[in-house]
Amino acid sequence: MVDIATRVYNHKWKIDPIVRSLIDTDFYKLLMCQSVFRNKPQTDVVFSLINRSNHIPLAELVDEGELREQLDHIRSLGLSRGESTWLRGNTFYGKRQMFRPDFMEWFENLRLPPYHLERKGDQYELTFEGKWHEVMLWEIPALAVLMELRSRAVLDQMRRFELQVLYARAMTRVWEKIEKLREIDGLSIADFGTRRRHSFLWQDWCVQAMIEGLGSAFTGTSNCLIAMRREVEAIGTNAHELPMVYCALAETDEELAKAPYDVLSDWHEEHEGNLRIILPDTYGTKGFLAHAPDWLAGWTGVRVDSGDPAEGAEIAIGWWKSRGEDPMQKRIIFSDALDVDKIVELHARFSGRAKVSFGWGTLLTNDFRGLVPDDRLAPFSLVCKAAAANGKPTVKLSDNPEKAMGPEDEIERYKRVFHVGKQAAIKVEV
Amino acid sequence: MVDIATRVYNHKWKIDPIVRSLIDTDFYKLLMCQSVFRNKPQTDVVFSLINRSNHIPLAELVDEGELREQLDHIRSLGLSRGESTWLRGNTFYGKRQMFRPDFMEWFENLRLPPYHLERKGDQYELTFEGKWHEVMLWEIPALAVLMELRSRAVLDQMRRFELQVLYARAMTRVWEKIEKLREIDGLSIADFGTRRRHSFLWQDWCVQAMIEGLGSAFTGTSNCLIAMRREVEAIGTNAHELPMVYCALAETDEELAKAPYDVLSDWHEEHEGNLRIILPDTYGTKGFLAHAPDWLAGWTGVRVDSGDPAEGAEIAIGWWKSRGEDPMQKRIIFSDALDVDKIVELHARFSGRAKVSFGWGTLLTNDFRGLVPDDRLAPFSLVCKAAAANGKPTVKLSDNPEKAMGPEDEIERYKRVFHVGKQAAIKVEV
């Protein structure tokens, strides 16, 4: 029997919305948003889309009208009662009422601010301007929309059984990865794949497959909506945008040098335990840790997000030792360009020397490499970053010069202020 | 939204029936049934299940109660109005009203006769006794039920995502076969996989995948229900049971020697064109063709169903030439233990020398080899054959001594009467 009501209801949709909830976003965005809401509520920022894989002609692949429809739909979203209840009532990282009443009240009334979209050749210029805590919530849905519209453009040309077999192959691939991960004793892994996922439904499938296939080794997902629906932990702490904006706001070189530690000082006041995770690579891991205040060595762990991950982990372990800390009591979270082989390798190398976790992103939720002709579903490196704060440009260096961003002269200034020497380049693929 | 009515309706089923229609059977069964109904309506036969893969402990795997429920359900089935309309109104092999009004009237009122089921060690003894044209319709559903109950017993222990990935792998495998077949120029292939299918839904999926993937190279399915629903041709002609029963009824060696030709003589009167396909291997292809009457050389083709298929085809081609026929005007249908490599090989060897077709069975609709631990979903060789007619045992020799069946002394007698010499044994797997 056909459920006529459901069919009719579906026909009412003008579009098939990609993002259907304001919490279809990364958990750390909400944590950072609350921190910004509290500490930097008057900051104006510009977030901007950057396609690091500029061989992908996004504007050729994705129709501008459809993109606008999807973005407009996101602007129509408000927090639902159930979502608000989940955020208010849930225990995150063992803590109740992680989100404070004044923040929740603001969030419940939030609609995302306008966007600016313009086609430039075969790429889109997509920017968001406004108060930092509002604009920042555009990053994840904007990326997810672009990634999924690109997937849809390719899938649109495929027939029914071709599609089914495509997903059969992709499912088999994910499952074979899970089967390999299952062999790792003491594994701790989470889904970090929202922003560059193939599609929402696919990410949701991957999370469910991880739940069944990995059991307690799967610690949760960064995606709040999926965490809520699948009843798993929402995972995440903080990201580069905090030091990037704090640094852009610095007036002098002295303030600039201090700014990344100010970020963590604010965070220190707000959070404890497993949320005290250092992200040290924004302006070079080595220099950041060498000049860090002692209280930072008391934090729970580090997240290694660029450069050679083994090197980053060795630096952290050496740093803890130099500050009299026991690395076995610390957590190292790897989250950059992971796939199964690298996870196996990193786990084998570090699991006896520290607590090790993995935040698995694009190659979990978007590994369609080689599954269609011309690899037109292969993931690519799309980001949406804070480009300016109160009119001043931001800079990111990271541990890989290929990921550096900002004006040339500012990059040089930051390199000098943060004592960043020569860095090894690593090709950015996802 | 949940379609509550559908959910409630589904809950009303006491079981999940495997065979839900009397035409969920092979088309040639209906053709032969009509022939028997007309020519041998007073013949009493016994059909009997034979598990040629006796390392598979069917009675351990399949619960007797569940088996009885499924068989009882089949006995409750009658031809639906739409099914009857399809049989009466359809064009089969270019001919309207293939099924005559008196046969249809009888079929519309048919319920299948009782079965006899007994557990013997780790196998089942399953027999059907009664009038030939009634009993013969048990063969396909009985096999399909046993095959699917065995699949279900294995699947029952698997979890949700394991199941989905199992089917993802199986779909990928079928699709890769289809992709290889697509490269064969002038291919003509049909689904013959009803009897030993993994499940009904799986066969239905395979047929749909063939429709999309092969286009006009896919000529249809032997399964009437699927042919009706998917709007493709129903394919099939005749099978070994005709000569087996005709031979068992023969009183003397002379009558025995003549009986296989009597079968085709009756068929000759009833059918023309593409339905005039010789199945020459019941008592050895070579002797059968050597002693065949000249009018048989005028038939449209042969079906090669046992022994070395290339050898069988060479014998047929040589025979046509010896009778002054042009093999290029004849059709050779290969239907024994086919998989893609063999299809590619046979097509390459014979497509320039005759019209070539393939009836692809078990390795289309049940290739789950290697997909679960201990290969517990691998297909196996289960058959259901006419064992006796009017109290006398039947005999089958075929072109492979491994497939011979009947009492030892009768096998020897048949070998003598049909001039069957030494035969090469080929392992029977599916």
Q: Residue A425: exposed, middle, or buried by beta-carbon count in 10 A (0-12, 13-18, 19+)?
A: exposed
Would the CA dihedral through B240, B246, B252, B255 be positive or negative?
negative
Structural domain includes residue A315: yes
CA distance B180 to chain A (A): 14
pLDDT reported for residue A8: 84
CB nearest B171 (choices: A6, A164, A212)? A164
Residue A159 sits at the chain B interface (C-beta within 8 Å)? yes
Chain B environment of A9 (Cβ under 8 Å):
1
Cβ proximity of B241 and B28 under 8 Å:
no
CATH of the domain at A213: 3.20.140.10
Residue A351 sits at the chain B interface (C-beta within 8 Å)? no
Low-confidence ranges of chain B (pLDDT < 50): none
Structural domain includes residue B402: no
Beta carbons within 8 Å of B74's beta carbon, 6+ residues apart: B19, B112, B138, B141, B142, B145
pLDDT tens digit sequence for A49-77: 999 999 999 999 999 999 999 999 999 99
Cβ proximity of B114 and B140 under 8 Å:
no
pLDDT reported for residue A35: 97
Contact: B1, A3; criterion CB under 8 Å: yes
- Crossing angle of helices A27-39 and A253-270, in 10° steps, is 110
Domain co-membership, B217 together with B357: yes
Structure tokens at B66: 């569940």
Q: Is pLDDT at A428 greater than 90 in this prediction?
A: no
Contact: B9, A1; criterion CB under 8 Å: yes
Mapped onto helix, strand or coil, the DSSP state of residue A46 is strand
Structural domain includes residue B314: yes
b/e for B200-222, b at 16 or more Cβ within 10 A? Answer: bebbbbbbbbbbbbbeebbbbbb
Cross-strand bridge partners of residue A334 = A304, A358
Domain co-membership, B53 together with B186: no
Cβ proximity of A47 and A239 under 8 Å:
no
Structure tokens at B128: 């059907």
Q: Is pLDDT at A17 greater than 90 in this prediction?
A: yes
Chain B environment of A175 (Cβ under 8 Å):
161, 165, 168
Domain co-membership, B149 together with B177: no
Domain co-membership, A139 together with A187: no
Chain A environment of B169 (Cβ under 8 Å):
168, 172
Chain B environment of A158 (Cβ under 8 Å):
none
Mean pLDDT of chain A: 96
Find the domain containing A271 and state its range: 164-365
Structure tokens at A58: 């996004």
Strand duo B44-51 + B123-131: pairing: antiparallel
pLDDT reported for residue B32: 98
Structure tokens at A328: 């076995």
DSSP code per residue over A291-337:
T--HHHHTSSEEEE-SS-HHHHHHHHHHHHHHTT--GGGSEEEE-SS
**Residue A430 banded pLDDT, cuts 50, 70, 90:** confident
d(CA B384, CA B50): 6
Q: B interface mutation test: which of A9, A10, A163, A164 has the most B CBs within 10 A? A: A164
| Secondary-structure percent of chain B, ordered helix, strand, coil, rounded to 5 | 50, 15, 35
One-letter amino acid for residue B269 of the chain: E
Among A111, A87, A115, A85, residue whose Cα is nearest residue A99: A87
Mapped onto helix, strand or coil, the DSSP state of residue B380 is coil
Q: How far apart are the first and last CA of chain A?
A: 44
Cβ proximity of A259 and A247 under 8 Å:
yes
b/e for A256-282, b at 16 or more Cβ within 10 A? Answer: bbbbbbbbbebbbeebeebbbbbbbbb
pLDDT reported for residue A168: 96
CB nearest B212 (choices: A160, A167, A171)? A160
Structural domain includes residue B414: no
Beta carbons within 8 Å of B415's beta carbon, 6+ residues apart: B397
Domain co-membership, A215 together with A357: yes
The ipTM, to two decimals, is 0.88
pLDDT reported for residue B304: 98
Among B215, B182, B239, residue whose Cα is nearest residue B25: B239
Structural domain includes residue B280: yes
pLDDT tens digit sequence for B290-334: 999 999 999 999 999 999 999 999 999 999 999 999 999 999 999
Cβ proximity of B195 and B222 under 8 Å:
no
Residue A167 sits at the chain B interface (C-beta within 8 Å)? yes
Residue A113 sits at the chain B interface (C-beta within 8 Å)? no
Beta carbons within 8 Å of A129's beta carbon, 6+ residues apart: A44, A45, A46, A47, A113, A116, A135
Name the domain count of chain A.
2
Domain co-membership, A107 together with A168: no
Strand duo B115-120 + B123-131: pairing: antiparallel
Domain co-membership, A150 together with A170: no
Domain co-membership, A220 together with A307: yes
Structural domain includes residue A375: no
Residue A99 sits at the chain B interface (C-beta within 8 Å)? no
Mean pLDDT of A224-247: 97
Domain co-membership, B279 together with B357: yes
Domain co-membership, B148 together with B170: no
Domain co-membership, A102 together with A229: no
Q: Is pLDDT at A297 greater than 80 in this prediction?
A: yes
Mapped onto helix, strand or coil, the DSSP state of residue A360 is strand
Domain co-membership, A192 together with A317: yes
Cβ proximity of A195 and A170 under 8 Å:
no
Structure tokens at A68: 């606008």
Structural domain includes residue A371: no
CA distance B192 to chain A (A): 21
Cα separations in angstroms, A79 against A29, A86, A235 = 15, 11, 20
pLDDT tens digit sequence for A109-127: 999 999 999 999 999 999 9
**Residue A394 banded pLDDT, cuts 50, 70, 90:** very high
Residue A3 sits at the chain B interface (C-beta within 8 Å)? yes
Structure tokens at B202: 């799986």
pLDDT reported for residue B178: 98
Mapped onto helix, strand or coil, the DSSP state of residue B177 is helix
Q: Is pLDDT at A1 greater than 90 in this prediction?
A: no
Among B275, B237, B219, residue whose Cα is nearest residue B27: B237
d(CA B302, CA B337): 17
Residue A168 sits at the chain B interface (C-beta within 8 Å)? yes
> Could you count the other beta carbons within 10 Å of the beta carbon of residue A351?
16
d(CA A91, CA A235): 12
Which of 210-239 (A) contact B at CB < 8 A? 212-213
Q: Is pLDDT at A29 greater than 80 in this prediction?
A: yes
Chain B environment of A159 (Cβ under 8 Å):
212
Structural domain includes residue A405: no
Among B213, B28, B6, residue whose Cα is nearest residue B139: B28
